[in-house]
Structure 1
Amino acid sequence: MKTIFKTTLLCAIVFLSVTHVFAFDVKQNEQIIKIINAFKAQDKVLISTLITYPLNRQTPAPAINNQQELVNRFDEVFDQNLINLIANSDIDNDWKAKGWRGIMFLNGKLWLDGGKIRSINHQTVNQANLKQTIVEQQKLTLHESLRNYKQPILQWETTKFRVRIDDLGQQKFRYASWSLDKSFSDKPDLVLLNGKQDFDGSGGNHYYTFINGKYTYRCDVIVIGTSKSPAGRLSVLKDQLVLLTDDVVEVLK
């Protein structure tokens, strides 16, 4: 009997603990309801006040820097499908509190922090078309040896290098780097192929790794971090020994 009581008590404690982790407080609940109602009304101006800027977009589309830009580019960010998902969402089932990372909607489609939308992981048709236009224009600015790719992944300036990663198609990634005294139109100092992408949890953080003999080049993209976190980090390892860690100074578009 005592064993059954202890087991029941333990289960109750675990249940309460899990419920506490994922439950919203009154303020969070009100913040989510405000966002849901704004999308129900499809009020672009109101929605623009519920976003933290700059709002980064998928490379190579430029970030949205203020409320007016959001209103002007609204259809690039939100299509009717995403609007309906948010407007008809259920707080208990579709929104999850993730501690210091904020509040997640539908497995990371949106992330909230402080009651505002911090990131949007959804691609509309309009954004896809914009990206393709930019890609074709951007190819003309690259060294001719790098112009064959499906889509750009990132362009960084670190404290020591300029770095670019491209998707060549079928999840085959290419790494290219230059010294800071060179531009992307110059022949790269180093090109590595057959890179792979891995994700670090559901927050959006991910990384790309490239092998060059005994050396491993790793580019960490930091989507969810602290206020002091860089946008990314380049690491170079020989076997398992870290030779270099180099923070991103600027994300180049």
Structure 2
Amino acid sequence: MCGRFALLAKTDLAREFFSLAEIDDLTERYNIAPTQPIVIVVASERQEKGSNLPERKAMLVRWGFMPGWVKDPREFPLLINARAETAIGKASFKAAMRHRRILVPATGFFEWRRPPEKGAKSQAYFIRPKKGEIVAFAGLMETWSSADGSEVDTGAILTTAANNDIARIHDRMPVVIRPEDFSRWLDCKTQEPRDVLDLMKPIEDGFFEAIPVSDRVNKVANMGPEILEPVEEVIAAPAPKNDKGADAPPSSGQLSLF
């Protein structure tokens, strides 16, 4: 899965990388967590109308997908990821796969290797491209409307089976869309879900590098560059316990838009 990521790219780089018609100034974000606003890229109206210009637009959505048919979001699970293998047929994502495919700009994502030994401490990694400062994850969006008429744009990141590089850490990874495939992925007018199945596969080995980092990333309140500082890779140390005696999971500290 992908439960935390970072976006540190400069605004000009993002504008050029995604061929954006416009984008607000980006703020460096080192520890983006579920339910927070995230930047996404969608096809512009000009592109949708058949213009040859590859201009696109950026917008903000809540990270946590909410299908339009949900009546009470408090009774619906937080969908931050969608499995690429099943998104086409799954009720929650079927409409978005057909009509609302997006790109999610990122500098890298965080993942945890959880050792099989009970009580052993998990090792956090920052996984980033070996070349370049920005990458595009495949995503889906949906606009959820409440009974009072208010609307919230929501999104999820598509994941696929991990490649060999990432499999030693976790069995899933985000789907990466290359720049030459941006137009095809975002084109929901002529490209049906079955036409983009070939894009929803693991990126080749060697694309990412995994850097061990401290458990500072576990807390959403930690939002500075220090969470990316490399550490010595340690797996065997005992994990801290919570009041109930279970392994303490990463603190969410997440906000809610509902």
Instruction: Please classify the TM superposition score into its range, dividing by the shorter chain length.
Output: under 0.3
Q: Which has the larger radius of gyration?
A: 1
Considering Cα pairs closer than 8 Å and 6+ residues apart, tell me whether 1 or 2 has the greater RCO: 2
Larger % of helix: which? 1
TM-score when normalising by structure 2:
0.24
TM-score by length of 1: 0.24
